[in-house]
Structure 1
Amino acid sequence: MMRLVGLATAAGMLVALALAAAPARPAATATALPATQALFSSYVADDKMPGIVGAFGAGDRPTVFVSAGRIADEGDAPAAGPDSLWRVYSMTKPVTAMAAMILIEQGRMRLDQPVSDFIPEFKEMRVQLNPNTIDSRPALRPITIRHLLTHTAGLGYNIITTGPLLRLYESKGLLPGAFNVAMETRMRQLRPTSLQEFARRVAGVPLVADPGTTWRYSMGLDVLAAVIEKAGGMPFDAFVQRRIFDPLGMKSSYWTVPGGAAGRLATTYSFVAGRRIPIDPGATSVFLQPPSFPYGGAGLVMSARDYDRFLHMLQDLGTLDGVTIMRPETARLAMSDLLPPGVRFTSVPGETGGVAGPQMGYGAGGAVILKDANNAFGAGTYAWGGAAGTHAWVNAVRKLRGTIMVNYLPATQWPVRDQTIRALAADLAPRSTR
């Protein structure tokens, strides 16, 4: 993750400088970034992926969109572009986290408030004695909102948990995510049908660690969605729509892709023995049917244009196009290190890759760079990625942001983010010598 965020920050800075050097124009195009365009085109020409879209922005200048290829392998599939739809999976987490920050700003919840104030079943949690048993002991302290925001609640996650605890998760349907219709058919038989029931079931299984003692990737943002429902006084997805998507004009962000937008939905692929295999075709995607409940950790389908608007709001500290989503101090807090005292951001799962460095922290649903000795522009970057290869970063100090949209598993199949950095550097170099 240190490499992910550090390189992403460098990319954002390079784009910021490149765009600052370019003359203003009414609409940004990929011609502003020819090396990046050539790179993206090469991915398609070399048959590494059907298509890819990037959105790069600096300050309030027009976003530069770079795209290549199509949203699926089929010859008649539409070209990939700013409004194509992509499964952003864990890039849902920052959206959920900012919804919580809005409620914190409003005083409807507090950062260090016990979760049990909203969902009483969390009042007396227990901790797994060791990974080989579900035997447990009482937790030393309650889970708080901060813990859910920062993956320090002691919760596990079905995508990384193993052993008897994973089997318990599966038996209770603690499976907050969708991948394709075949898997969904099985998982839906086990999964609860509401966020509140999901949260209550989570409260009934052992934690993997005492709250506030260690960073561990988790379903904390899914539980947080249930808290948002309680504190916000409306369904979680309705709250996000009303307080984030609608005000920002994000018209291509969905928990369920409507039929009229299905033609824009990319196909997700997996790589088997070096071959690209479709695992969730856009035309029949599991995301065309309503989920068991809106997954706050991995449930959104979004366009590059929409995610850029979300990042632009964060870049401008809570306001975009004259619309205020949150106050500047709330946005700064969300993108600062919120880890409990003594806890370090130590690692991330395979979906985002790498190991965190000592100058990394963790904010509201995303990693933050506290200091980067190798890049003077690193401090202040807030970033996260998704299981199917998507990436996003924003630096409110330097006023820059970037999004990359692809849909294949594993996310590490191709070094897209590293190569994009080098391409952006090449785009900048001719300008920097003028």
Structure 2
Amino acid sequence: MPPFELTRREWLGGAAALGTMAAFAPVTAAAQGRFAWPAINSLLADYVDHGKVANLVASVGFSDRPTHVFARGVDTLGQARQSDGDSIYRIYSMTKPITGMAAMMLVDEGKLALDQPLYEILPKFKSMQVQKVYDGPITPDNLEPAVRPITIRQMLTHTAGLGYGIVQQGPIAKAFQDAGVVPGLVTRLQNLPVFRGTAVPSLELFADRLAEFPLVYQPGTYWSYSMGLDLMGRVIEVVSGKTFDAFLQERMFDPLGMVDTHFRVPSSKADRMTTSYYLMNGNLLPIDLGSDSIFFDPIPFPMGGSGLASTPKDYDRFLEMLVGLGTYKGTRVMSEAAVRLGTSNLLPDTVRQKPGRQGLGLDLDIYGFGAGGRVGKGDDAGVYGWAGAAGTVGFADIAKGIRGGLFTQYMPSGAYPLIEQFPAAIRDDLATFTGRA
């Protein structure tokens, strides 16, 4: 593979399996206190001690009990600070569940409805065109009218037919870049084609520009990773009457005490900001330094699909709130009904499996999708979560009261099987745990 050329699957490795939580069983606090967690610690040691990553921080929690945090490595190779639960990571698509739950708050309050047409809120999306040939030309001969309107449900579940610059391979991908429809910050290295593109300067303009592009699928037909959650940020602004970032701060971050979760990281926190690396031929090449990150710069707009940086401790607070069915340390942040609905399978009835399951589609035989995160079926019902493009993952098992997070910084995330290995390590440890408890 040529340098810095990424496949869809590598870019979106964060969308891979979170692993089954079906084997988990409740364990006593006393057993937790004396347990060594050998599988998790072995996983961290393997990756850090062999130079695969600069650091790994894992968190595991049960209900509202104190969180177990495991850390190894340094925030930046060659620097002294040891990574810990307060290290700041670019969580990228782990922003999506936060945006999804913010939307569920408004659904719960009757200000939004899941099957409400998007055009009732953003009128420019009323008469959408759709590509006849997926990822084909964006010329009139390859376009047809949408057979149904985009809905809030579809936006939350990546079934609206909206494209994504990191997914599309046809002419529309470059057109997104040229128009500034770029909902992600990675590096200032604009000479690298995969990271090219300057975002428009407001969320309102982002939404308006996106409305000018055709959809890549008919709304409600296929699961296709998209800019739906970024667009949801604009919906939240219009419906709530607050800027998207202010809404999250007031309704989510402040009540949860998420003091280190930001769209723009204060430069005063540079001492805890990790460095992001690109993995090429087994070497870690720095593409965004912790000491001088692009996340310190003024943001074009708050990106609800990929824009947040956070810490393992902060994100665990969000997961604990979900496991607590909307409460955190006695504070009601969301209603139980909103959490249960948002972590359930919200896929439209019209969605069908992609032929041959080509590309990075969702395997509908195994998984559903909720508000910004994937959900399990069958024995895995109640497991909700998502992952980020730079090696982070977070999940909440609502049914069993278990949550977990894994944090590191490398791209492409699919270069390593960490997203499968982390839940497997938790399962192995809990199997031993249960036997000793």
Q: Is the counterpart of residue 291 in structure 1 residue 299 in structure 2?
A: yes
Larger deviation, residues 158-167 vs 253-262: 158-167
% of aligned pairs identical?
A: 41
Deviation at 1:191, TM superposition (A): 2.6
For residues 332 and 422 of structure 1, the distance between their equivalents in structure 2, rounded to whole angstroms, comes to: 25
Question: Helix, strand or coil: the match of 1:181?
Answer: coil
Corresponding letter in the other structure for 2:69:
F
In structure 1, the residue corresponding to 2:395 is in which secondary structure?
Answer: strand
Equivalent residue for 1:43? 47
Counterpart position of 1:52: 56
- SS of the aligned residue for 1:337 comes to coil
User: CA separation of 1:357/1:159 partners in 2, compared to 1, >3 Å: closer, same or farther?
Assistant: same
1:192 aligned partner, one-letter code: V
1:280-429 equivalences under 5 Å are 280-344=288-352, 356=363, 358-371=365-378, 376=379, 378-429=380-431
* Local SS of the residue matching 2:209: helix
Q: Quick one: which of 164, 189, 199 aligns to 1:157?
A: 164
Matches of 1:364 and 1:418, distance apart in 2: 22
DSSP-derived class of the 1:42 partner: helix
Q: 1:307 to 1:328 in 2, by over 3 A?
A: same
Query: Quick one: structure 1 residues 285 and 3, their matched pair in 2 at CA, closer, same or farther if it must change by over 3 Å?
Result: closer
Does the 8 Å CA contact 2:327/2:334 hold for their aligned counterparts?
yes
Residues 116 and 431 of structure 1, relative CA distance in 2, 3 Å threshold:
closer
Matched position secondary structure for 2:264: coil
Query: How many Å apart are 1:213 and its aligned residue?
Result: 1.5
The whole-number CA distance in structure 1 between the counterparts of 2:231 and 2:406 is 27
Confirm or deny that 1:278 pairs with 2:286: yes
Distance 1:429 1:139 in 2: 50
- Counterpart contact for 2:263–2:302, Cα < 8 Å: yes
1:286-325 superposed Cα distances (whole Å, 9 cap, x missing partner): 0011211011100000000111110111111111112112
Structure 1 residues 211 and 184: CA distance shift in structure 2, 3 A: farther
User: CA–CA distance in 1 between the matches of 2:410 and 2:163?
Assistant: 24
- Look up the match of 1:242: 250
How far apart, CA to CA, are the structure 2 residues paired with 1:321 and 1:425? 26
Deviations 1:110-147 (A, max 9, x none): 11111111211111111123232112222111111111
Q: CA deviation at 1:197?
A: 0.8
Cross-structure match for 2:9: none
Kept in 2, the 8 Å contact 1:360–1:370? The answer is yes
**Number of residue pairs aligned between Structure 1 and Structure 2:** 417
Q: Which amino acid aligns with 2:299?
A: P
What does residue 63 of structure 1 align with? 67
Aligned to 1:142: 149
> 1:398 is aligned with what amino acid?
K
Q: Indicate if the aligned counterparts of 2:60 and 2:404 stay in contact, CA closer than 8 A.
A: yes
1:278 partner SS: strand
Alpha-carbon distance in 1 for matches of 2:294, 2:358: 26
Alignment CA distance shift 1:223-1:86 (3 Å): same
CA distance in 2, matches of 1:398, 1:388: 28
Amino acid at match of 2:370: G
Gaps of 5+ in 2: 1-12
Q: Secondary structure at the match of 1:277?
A: strand
Query: Aligned letter for 2:199?
Result: R
Q: Which SS does the other structure have where 1:306 is aligned?
A: helix
CA separation of 1:235/1:79 partners in 2, compared to 1, >3 Å: closer, same or farther?
same
Q: Quote the Cα distance in structure 2 between the aligned partners of 1:233 and 1:339.
A: 28
Which residue does 1:118 correspond to in 2?
A: 121
For structure 1, the 5+ residue unaligned runs are: none
Deviation at 1:379, TM superposition (A): 1.8
Deviation by residue 1:167-223 (Cα, 9 ceiling, x = unmatched): 221221111101112239998975321101110111111111121111111001111
Distance 2:358 2:198 in 1: 27
State the partner residue of 2:6: none
Please say which of residues 181-190 and 220-229 is displaced more in the overlay. 181-190
What TM-score, normalized by structure 2, do the two folds share? 0.89
- Separation (CA, whole Å) in 1 of partners of 2:375 and 2:353: 10
Q: Which residue of 2 aligns with 1:215?
A: 223
Pairing partner for 2:260 from 252, 258, 261: 252
Q: Deviations over 1:228-256 (max 9, x none)?
A: 00001011000001000000111110100
Check 1:349–1:83 CA distance in 2 against 1; reply closer, same or farther (3 A cut). farther
- Structure 1 letter corresponding to 2:312: A
CA RMSD of superposed structures (Å)? 2.5
Q: Distance in 2 between matches of 1:141 and 1:426?
A: 46
Q: Which amino acid aligns with 1:37?
A: N
Partner SS for 1:7 = coil
Question: What is the identity, as a one-letter code, of the residue corresponding to 1:213?
Answer: T
Q: 1:340-381 CA distances to partner (integer Å, 9 max, x unpaired)?
A: 11314767977xxx963503111100111111xxxx4x2211
- Shift of residue 431 of structure 1? 3.8
